[in-house]
Structure 1
């Protein structure tokens, strides 16, 4: 760890990312950047910022409560090894990726008590409230696009885990967009300028956002746990342990005796003993971590500097456009070739023994850092409890449309 203009920074980052971090830090009380960080929207992914009685709409982001959940099952690799291809097909057909609920699963918790929560009243306008609630109900338990996934892993003892990564879907995106507009005195549903939008939690607007952010957090938890447990059911196993955490969220916390609103954007809470599931890429190991317990004084100082935060993944080193290149949508002509080829991605997965369903070149292992290197850069602030080897990775297809993105 080093300091950039007094800001704790783990790992190596480009000038654009560090500049974005400095900009955020200029309005925050404290800030830090994790080793998987990269340039983001207003605030760098991997960034952590602490405010007094304020929350950053752009900091929490448009995928409010994006996070990871992992379940350790009672199964072993020997139990499922002969059926991996069939299991991959069953997951792909039973869980919704990209297109909404077009799968065979009809038991998603669309009547969950959270849909009757008083928090919905914080959405301005009766018609807007009804529309958003129904959209949220319709998509609960769907995974979406991009780097969101369902994985089946084996750990160092050949025990089977299920891992998922996604957030609050269109609910979170609509809340973030709405408050970005409201913060600029624009109507809900309109497009505002790209700003951080710091909301005072003592104001009516800030209170309303905080209420709805937490509603989106509950919604994401329900969705991830339903999907993960659905996959455990497909495997024919039982749940023995659940590790679950957000990495796009804000929390009320005390650091150094002072109370802050801590915003983590692509960063995971890692207080001593707090567990988290952190993925690598479709062709790399994942890990179960915990914040280091009984750390030595120098390590404890690093934990405190990081605001007890850690990485949320391996971190991108290549944009989606760089990976895919540029193609004329009308003619299909390649205007600029991408840096990743289908052959290279398939070769990597074959060598790792990973069965992939869906997934585009923009999610190839080539576009990510290597997780062990990122973990090394975080020092002894976290400790690895389990290393998870991917067996099956299921994602949205490269050309799938997501009607719940907006």
Structure 2
């Protein structure tokens, strides 16, 4: 007798929802009912679908029933009528669409606290610059597509005057020792601990992505990712590095977990949407319960992607420092697309910072401006209302489309010349005029951070624009 073969279409035809329960049901039936006819097997599945609670304790059909019960409970979910209260910093600089997104996010049943940073602008699901705390749940799009996107700044022992005296060398080193773009990869990648992590063997998706991760280690993405030379002006004599106030040559980089993080984000966002259906306007905010297998898988993958992003930055800086024959005097770095387990007001929460900088008491961070505007090295004040957070940059004043349609190459080149900045690559979508005024953004968050130093870009490398 032929073995039972079922298709997803067969189960959908008898009313099974489009969700992981279909593949689970097919697997169970083809293993335990393999000698039954398709008609008999579908009859059994119909009974389970009609009354899943009656089969939850069944040794064989219980796996199917449990998923159906979960699905029924999920479909009953609705947003709160009124969202939780949250703090807004620099509201006058924030586009109304970002406010509307945050208003929806704080109505999620799992939301317990929130805040909106002064650089906030429209994003997918959670606005960029949005901070959302949840109870034992993680939202993949609350973290973002570029998991572990981060800043890293290295202060070097190179004289500031050398940036002009050896200008061509600085340009050549920056060009030769960085790679940008979606498919960018190095032919030879040095050994790195992160590539040996057990998660690459234990989780099927990460195992599949390992080769990509190897090739892209130490590269940067497109869009607003950059590596740049610049000058750090240290203002605080009581700085954590023991450096004298004054000017220093520095490297600043901004990028994340590359293709690894993007595919992890895509996979678990799709899974979250299947497991946690929400109204259309908030479907990107679907979450995974951290007690579930999927939630644990995402959490492990997210943390690996964050460590991978950090390793990318360290390798980029290592190559540039070695090529210049320099030494690192100090380093500051931080994530800004990530979720952390933190305790606030005595409660453990999952704090999502999508385009927001951790700013707990005494925590160091970097808030960049634009190609021509300064960035700032800051120390967090631990402001409870902001969930220990600050902005992750100046934030966009224009969408990419609006920028390319309204800014000319001539205007951007003039602004770069006026500020003495060399740009390698880059496009009109990243023109300085497309960003908010960083000084206004910083003035809106003096309660959140104190400034220790200022960074001024001089030579900027980005992916080729347009």
Give the shorter-chain TM-score range: 0.7 to 0.9
CA distance in 1, matches of 2:115, 2:99: 10
- 2:335 corresponds to: 246
Shift of 1:99: 5.9
Aligned to 1:55: 138
Q: Which moved more, 1:176-185 or 1:306-315?
A: 176-185
Q: 2:119 aligns with which of 36, 48, 53?
A: 36
In the alignment, structure 1 segments of 5+ residues that lack a partner are: 187-192, 293-299, 325-337, 400-406
Deviation of the 1:25 alpha carbon: 0.9
- Counterparts of 1:112 and 1:260 in 2: how far apart (Å)? 32
Partner of 1:26: 107
5 Å-filtered alignment, 1:199-348, equals 199-292=288-381, 303-324=383-404, 338-348=405-415
Q: In proportion to residue count, which structure has more strand?
A: 1
Q: How does 1:58-137 map to 2 (within 5 A)?
A: 58-98=141-181, 100-101=183-184, 108-109=189-190, 111-124=191-204, 128-137=205-214
Is the partner of 1:223 in helix, strand or coil?
Answer: helix
Paired residues of 1:36 and 1:316 also in contact (CA < 8 A): yes
Given the alignment of the two structures, is residue 370 of structure 1 paired with residue 437 of structure 2, yes or no? yes
TM-score, structure 1 normalization: 0.85
- Residue 91 of structure 1, CA deviation: 1.0
Displacement of 1:239: 0.5
- 2:139 touches 2:288 (CA, 8 Å); kept in 1? yes
Q: 1:80 & 1:236 partners in 2: Cα distance?
A: 14
* In structure 2, C-alpha distance between the alignment counterparts of 1:289 and 1:107, rounded to whole Å: 36
1:320 and 1:142 mapped to 2: Cα distance? 23
Aligned in 2, Cα 1:102/1:67: closer, same or farther, shift over 3 Å? Answer: closer
Secondary structure at 1:242 match in 2: strand
Give the deviation of 1:131 after TM superposition: 3.1
Query: Partner of 1:161 in structure 2?
Result: 250
Task: Give the match for residue 454 of structure 2.
Answer: 387
Decide whether aligned partners of structure 1 residues 214 and 398 sit closer, same or farther in structure 2, where only a CA change above 3 A counts. same
Q: Retained in 2: the 8 A contact 1:76–1:154?
A: no
Helix, strand or coil for the counterpart of 1:64?
coil
1:75-100 deviation digits (Å, cap 9, x = unpaired): 22123321223312321222101164
For 1:100 and 1:176, locate their aligned partners in 2 and report how far apart those are by CA, in whole Å.
17
Count matched residues: 362
CA–CA distance in structure 2, aligned partners of residues 260 and 113 of structure 1: 29
Distance 2:194 2:113 in 1: 33
Asked if 1 retains the 8 angstrom alpha-carbon contact of 2:394 and 2:438, the reply is yes
1:250 touches 1:263 (CA, 8 Å); kept in 2? Answer: yes
Alpha-carbon RMSD? 1.9
Task: Answer 1 or 2: which has greater helix percent.
Answer: 2
Say whether residues 1:175 and 2:264 are aligned partners: yes
Residues 239 and 107 of structure 1: is their aligned pair in 2 closer, same or farther, counting only changes over 3 Å?
farther
Question: Is the partner of 2:162 in helix, strand or coil?
Answer: helix
Question: Would the aligned equivalents of 1:98 and 1:143 in 2 still touch at CA under 8 Å?
Answer: yes
8 Å contact from structure 1 (residues 100, 142) kept in 2: no
Query: Does the 8 Å CA contact 2:154/2:331 hold for their aligned counterparts?
Result: yes
Q: For residue 158 of structure 1, give the secondary structure of its aligned residue in structure 2.
A: strand
- Work out the CA distance in 1 between the residues paired with 2:125 and 2:185: 34
Say which structure, 1 or 2, has more relative contact order (CA 8 Å, 6+ apart): 1
TM-score, length basis structure 2: 0.75
Conserved 8 A contact 2:155-2:232: no
